[in-house]
């Protein structure tokens, strides 16, 4: 065996900077085999099991469950033939950077006493953010993390208990509790670590991304008739309105490659792809896996691939690589009857297209006679750091034109 080496928080995506260590599946002193899951990481996009890349023995765990950990930070130490290497995370994983600073830890999981007045409170960033939102005084809490660090779960448990007793029980956080809406009778609905992370990341996205919106309607009367005729062929894949929208977005990205860009710390990153995210409602919540090379696919090929992605999302079979890339996502709520959707941009992307239900309206034909048409409501949410209103309107017009001339979507991508 080699000397103890670091197990690091892996980087599971281009824009990932931190992850929640949701649960440990090993204990200090435990012998692990190659491929055995060591811990589970939850990001805003997916819950990922992190396996050992070699056999070894766990020496110590440095991070408590529920803590938010930066990419590349040491989460545990072990003795292993693969010393010095972070665990692998399957297809598409991105190697993490070498850790240069250890996270404070203790050998026992005993609860530490609350800090004295004037003493710095040890708490995770997520715990501090939740405490500020709900007006909880961290100095009144006892942490259950390493060295008595207060975790998000500690704050949430206090909020739930205080809500059951009444708003006065928050002591110095009375005003914050009232403003948060936790003042009436009711039943607390527990959230999974994944749901909590999603809520936090979408809140940050709405607060930090300068959203603006462009709206349009598309006449899809001809598209619906074409779809009906295509689906009469029992030997071909069934196509949906969503498939037409996806391929229209992919072709728009092909014709306007500058729109496939995202904001990064040092400016705008042009991706140069026609990858498109697809919002999927699953038992675990809303996921947005990416469909690859949409702009170069045929309609039948796109329909087959999209349905495969949806099936994997709903069965929990997605991999980290399924979420990498893409500057834009399509979110269709039309099947639920909503006329319009004004969506929030997914973290790490720069745009999202909200699709509503088709509505029947009378429009004048060339002779001025009323004709019944089917129109689709579209809302394009954009990051103003990456694009502007003129570019967004031009991009949305490309999508509308493609949907209103659906025969063009049956032709090749060239």
Active site residues: 384
**Cα gap 163→186, rounded to integer Å:** 9
In terms of C-beta distances under 8 Å and separation of at least 24 residues, what long-range contacts does 175-178 make, across chains too?
175/135, 176/132, 176/133, 176/134, 176/135, 176/136, 177/134, 177/135
Helix (H, G, I), strand (E, B) or coil at 162: helix
Q: Are the C-beta atoms of 330 and 355 separated by less than 8 Å?
A: yes
Specify the 3-state DSSP secondary structure of 111. Answer: coil
Q: How far lies 365's CA from each of 9, 220, 403, in Å?
A: 61, 15, 19
Alpha carbon distance 200, 155 (integer Å): 15
**CB burial of residue 64 (10 Å; 0-12, 13-18, 19+):** buried
Task: Please return the burial class of 307, using the count of CB atoms within 10 Å of its CB with bins 0-12, 13-18 and 19+.
Answer: middle
Torsion of CA 139, 143, 145, 147, to 10 degrees: 70
């Amino acid at each position: 065996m080699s000397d103890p080496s670091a197990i690091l928080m892996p980087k599971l995506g281009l824009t990932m900077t931190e992850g929640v260590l949701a649960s440990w599946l090993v204990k200090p002193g435990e012998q692990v085999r190659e491929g055995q899951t060591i811990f589970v990481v939850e990001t805003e996009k997916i819950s990922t099991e992190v396996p050992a890349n070699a056999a070894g023995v766990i020496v110590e765990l440095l991070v408590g469950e529920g803590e938010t950990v930066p990419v590349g930070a040491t989460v545990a130490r072990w003795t292993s033939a693969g010393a010095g290497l972070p665990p692998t995370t399957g297809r598409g994983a991105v190697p993490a950077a070498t850790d240069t600073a250890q996270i404070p830890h203790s050998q026992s999981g005993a609860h530490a006493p609350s800090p004295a007045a004037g003493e710095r409170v040890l708490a995770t960033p997520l715990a501090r953010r939740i405490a500020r939102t709900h007006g909880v005084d961290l100095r009144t809490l006892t942490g259950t993390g390493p060295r008595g660090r207060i975790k998000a779960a500690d704050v949430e448990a206090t909020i739930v208990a205080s809500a059951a007793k009444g708003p006065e029980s928050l002591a110095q956080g009375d005003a914050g509790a009232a403003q948060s809406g936790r003042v009436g009778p009711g039943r607390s609905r527990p959230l999974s670590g994944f749901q909590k992370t999603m809520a936090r990341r979408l809140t940050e996205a709405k607060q930090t991304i300068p959203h603006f919106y462009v709206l349009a309607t598309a006449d899809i009367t001809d598209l619906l008739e074409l779809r009906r005729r295509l689906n009469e062929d029992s030997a071909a894949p069934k196509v949906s309105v969503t498939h037409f929208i996806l391929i229209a977005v992919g072709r728009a990205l092909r014709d306007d490659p500058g729109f496939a860009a995202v904001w990064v710390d040092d400016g705008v990153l042009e991706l140069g792809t026609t990858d498109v995210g697809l919002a999927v409602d699953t038992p675990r919540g809303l996921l947005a896996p990416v469909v690859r090379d949409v702009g170069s696919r045929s309609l039948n090929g796109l329909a087959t691939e999209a349905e495969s992605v949806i099936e994997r999302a709903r069965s929990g079979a997605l991999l980290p690589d399924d979420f990498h890339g893409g500057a834009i996502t399509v979110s269709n709520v039309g099947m639920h009857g909503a006329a319009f959707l004004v969506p929030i941009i997914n973290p790490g992307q720069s745009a999202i297209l909200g699709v509503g239900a088709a509505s029947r309206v009378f429009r004048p034909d060339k002779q001025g006679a009323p004709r019944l048409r089917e129109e689709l409501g579209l809302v394009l949410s954009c990051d103003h750091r990456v694009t502007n209103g003129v570019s967004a309107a031009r991009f949305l017009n490309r999508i509308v034109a493609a949907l209103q001339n659906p025969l063009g979507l049956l032709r090749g991508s060239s």
